Every structure is written in C-alpha cells, then in structure tokens.
C-alpha cells in the first residue's frame, strides 16, 4: 500500500497560473523517491501542498490509504511529514540546540531547557550521523552545516517522510556526496525520502523511483532500476 497518494491534484494560483494539472502518483514507504522537472514544472507547489503550505484547487492526498486534508504545516507535522526548505527557516542568532527545541515546541516563549536540548541534538546527530555542535550559533555555521541543522530539526519531530526541496542547490559536490550518504542512511533506518531536484544525474545517483513533471503535468513515473536495466 502506498504511503502517500496524490489523486488528481490541480493548483491554480490567485494570479491565474496553472501550476499543477491533474497530477496523480503514489509514493511507497521506505524509498527515496525523486520529483524531477525543469524550473517552473510545479515541484515546489506539489511539496508545499503535501506540507500544508498551499491548498490544492482540486484533487486529494491520501496518507496510508486515507484521504487527509493537510490544512497547515501543523497537520503535516502531526502526520509525520517533515520538510527541509530551499531557504532555511532557522533563527540565525540562536544556537543549534535552541533552534531544534523551537522546532519541536511551537509554543511561543516556551522555556528552553538547554541541557535537555543539547542532549537531544547530540542524540539525533549520533543516530543520523549528522555531526553538529549543539552550542554553535547558527549564524556562524557554513551553509552545509546549517542544512544539517535544518534536517535535524525536521527529524526531531519524529517524521516518517522527509521532503527536501532542491537540497543540493547550496552545496559543493563533496557536500552533495555527504548529504546523499546521510539520506541513504535515513532510508535504511526506515524513513521515506522525497527528493526534489531538476538534476537528472543526481536523481539517478540517489533515488529508486522518479516522478517527472513538465509545465504542471505528470510526464513520467517509473522505478529507476528499470531505466538503468535498459541502459
């Protein structure tokens, strides 16, 4: 049974742009699934809909076979969906640990237990092999390290599905290799990874299934192993 099924999703923005046109496909649990396509294809719009940041104009999303209205990021988080944005949502003046606690505790002004926060960051970075200093101020970190914090923040909410929107855009080739190794580890630990990219080479290196969008329409949806076998 698919973990996530998009059924006839269309999205027209307020200005009349048709960003998605009747898109249907399924994501199986425990895979690295890529959504590929040129700029403007509708990839980000689809992921925003899955994360509750945009609502579809028509169509529905099923999680575990059940139609779910993902009205907000809060609903997505409750359903175990986490997202690493292209533009990070970290607070630069706070430490790594503080940022991760803020991600877990949406209550504004909640007391930050620094010792518990540091322990939580250390536990997560050990489990996922994402080494970061919990006491470092986010502003002082490299972009690649900030991305690790962003991933840890998403993972700290007990996600089952991790969406990464063009995560390699800000990385050097060695940093990209390292990210891919970490994503493979996460997949091996049972997470489902949704990897958004416009680079087919990266998709081939990482994913086992690819869905291709072009100008809002689904133009391809296949296991990558099948493609590789033919080549």
Contact positions vs ligand ADP (CB under 6 A): 13, 15, 17, 19, 37, 39-45, 53, 72-74, 77, 83, 85, 89, 103, 106
User: How many other CB atoms are there within 10 angstroms of residue 208's CB atom?
Assistant: 15
| Residue closer to ligand ADP (CB basis): 88 or 178 | 88
Q: State the nearest-atom distance from the C-beta of 18 to ligand ADP, in Å.
A: 8
| Residue closer to ligand ADP (CB basis): 3 or 163 | 163
Cα 10 versus chain centre, distance: 20
Q: State the nearest-atom distance from the C-beta of 103 to ligand ADP, in Å.
A: 6
Q: State the nearest-atom distance from the C-beta of 36 to ligand ADP, in Å.
A: 9
Q: State the nearest-atom distance from the C-beta of 13 to ligand ADP, in Å.
A: 3
| Residue closer to ligand ADP (CB basis): 74 or 126 | 74
Closest CA to 100 of 75, 117, 81: 117
| Residue closer to ligand ADP (CB basis): 76 or 206 | 76
Q: b/e for 156-184, b at 16 or more Cβ within 10 A?
A: beebbbbbbbbbbebbeeebbebbbeebe
Distance CA 128, CA 188 (A): 11
């Amino acid at each position: 049974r698919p973990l996530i099924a998009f059924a006839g999703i269309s999205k027209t923005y307020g200005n009349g742009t048709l960003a998605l046109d009747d898109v249907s496909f399924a994501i199986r649990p425990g895979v690295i699934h890529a959504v590929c396509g040129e700029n403007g294809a509708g990839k980000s719009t689809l992921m925003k809909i899955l994360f509750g940041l945009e609502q579809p104009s028509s169509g529905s999303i099923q999680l575990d076979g059940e139609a779910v209205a993902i009205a907000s990021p809060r609903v997505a988080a409750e359903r175990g969906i986490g997202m690493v944005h292209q533009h990070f949502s970290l607070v630069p003046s706070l430490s790594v640990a503080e940022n991760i606690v803020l991600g877990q505790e949406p209550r504004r002004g909640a007391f930050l237990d620094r010792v518990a926060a540091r322990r939580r960051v250390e536990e997560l970075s050990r489990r996922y092999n994402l080494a970061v200093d919990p006491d470092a101020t986010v502003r002082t970190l490299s972009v690649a390290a900030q991305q690790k914090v962003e991933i840890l923040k998403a993972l700290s909410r007990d996600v089952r599905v991790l969406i990464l929107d063009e995560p390699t855009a800000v990385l050097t080739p060695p940093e990209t290799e390292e990210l891919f190794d970490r994503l493979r580890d996460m997949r091996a630990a049972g997470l489902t990874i949704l990897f958004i990219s416009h680079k087919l080479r990266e998709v081939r290196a990482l994913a086992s299934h690819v869905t291709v969008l072009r100008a809002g329409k689904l133009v391809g949806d296949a296991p990558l192993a099948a493609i590789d076998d033919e080549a």
